[in-house]
Structure 1
Amino acid sequence: MVVLETERLVMRPLTGDDFDDYARMLADPEVADGLAESVGTSRADAWRSLATFIGHREIRGYSHWALVEKATGRFAGRAGPWRPYGFPGLGVGWCLARDHWGKGYATEAARAALDYCFGTLGATEVISLILPGNARSVSVAERIGHSHLRDTEYRGQQVHVYGQRR
């Protein structure tokens, strides 16, 4: 999996070394509650989630990247392409540790991931699943050019499908 760089972020493959930072991020209920992939907040939940993203990379050849601030070297979150079994299309997702909210990192990383999906993966459509009421993610989706396409059920939850075609 390639490493991407944006103006302020290094987007590199997630590894086991990210676990402590990843677990701290998901331990925040506000972070975990915003995810369409229901995760939970325990360290065991974080371990399973991280392993899922790493395993997805092994199966599909792509997955979410770790987002690392260039200026500080700090782990800021994850973002990238995603299409696990049963997902309704090639998706782009993002999750930021709360102390990195409001900096524009989600938009910056999602744009890079979207470009990767269209340019490298050859996608003709890319979607993002967003829980009802998650206005922050809707704002990110709209900033990267997504619009609301439809609503659907995913893993027992109602979600909004935002997306765009090439």
Structure 2
Amino acid sequence: MTTHIFSTERLVLRKMIPEDVDSLLEIFSDKEVMKYYPSCKNRNDTVKWIEWTLHHYKVYGFGMWIVEDKESGQLIGQCGLVLQKLVHGVEVELGYLFAKQHWGKGYATEAAFACKKYAFNELGLSKLISLIDPQNKASLKVAKRIGMTYECTVIKWNKQLNLYCCNSM
């Protein structure tokens, strides 16, 4: 079974595997990286996240994918598609989360743009959303750079979030 999904100029996006637990835990346990999430994750939470993601691949054909630096092969983050239940129905969210040492290098924008193209061109989706904490300026910039626009404010995970969206052409 191949885990490779697609590549960009500098990145490889692939399916998560159980052996990613230590690298993901490093990201999920960093308080600064997880600042806008409900909480950090411990090892058990990370194992459950990988299991949930593997199930998502089987059921829906997509999920959050591991992002690796093409040159070094190092796991630098995750980016992909997940279903989100909102008041008005279920939407496909484009999400991204990278290790702090890889911030500011354009990796999130590169991976998110590639996921957007994949969602529209390969999966045939017609709309994507991103739920972003209004204080998370870096994530807001990524959403705008890949062509997403502000649609509304929603309450999710007991907090107010900006919902950005884009439609396929």
Common fold by TM > 0.5: yes
Question: Per-residue deviation at 1:52?
Answer: 2.1
Where in structure 2 are the equivalents of 1:5-44 lying within 5 Å?
Answer: 5-35=7-37, 38-44=38-44
Question: Per-residue deviation at 1:39?
Answer: 4.4
Question: Per-residue deviation at 1:162?
Answer: 0.6
- SS of equivalent residue, structure 2 residue 40: coil
CA distance in 2, matches of 1:77, 1:108: 12
The residue number in structure 2 matching 1:89 is 91
Question: Per-residue deviation at 1:95?
Answer: 0.5
CA distance in 2, matches of 1:20, 1:148: 35
Gap regions ≥5 residues in structure 1: none
Question: Per-residue deviation at 1:27?
Answer: 0.7
The residue number in structure 1 matching 2:70 is 70
RMSD value, Cα: 1.5
CA distance in 1, matches of 2:138, 2:44: 27
CA distance in 1, matches of 2:51, 2:40: 14
Where in structure 2 are the equivalents of 1:8-157 lying within 5 Å?
Answer: 8-35=10-37, 38-84=38-84, 86-87=85-86, 88-157=90-159
Question: Per-residue deviation at 1:124?
Answer: 1.5
Question: Per-residue deviation at 1:80?
Answer: 0.8
Higher relative contact order (CA 8 A, sep 6+): 1
Q: Which has the higher helix share?
A: 1
Is the contact made by 1:2 and 1:13 (CA closer than 8 Å) also made in structure 2? yes
Identity of aligned residues (%): 32
Given residue 78 of structure 1, which amino acid in structure 2 is its aligned partner? Q
Higher deviation after alignment, 135-144 or 116-125: 116-125
Give aligned pairs, total: 163
- SS of equivalent residue, structure 1 residue 72: coil
Q: TM-score, normalised by structure 2?
A: 0.90
- SS of equivalent residue, structure 1 residue 113: helix
Question: Per-residue deviation at 1:2?
Answer: 5.3
CA distance in 1, matches of 2:36, 2:109: 16
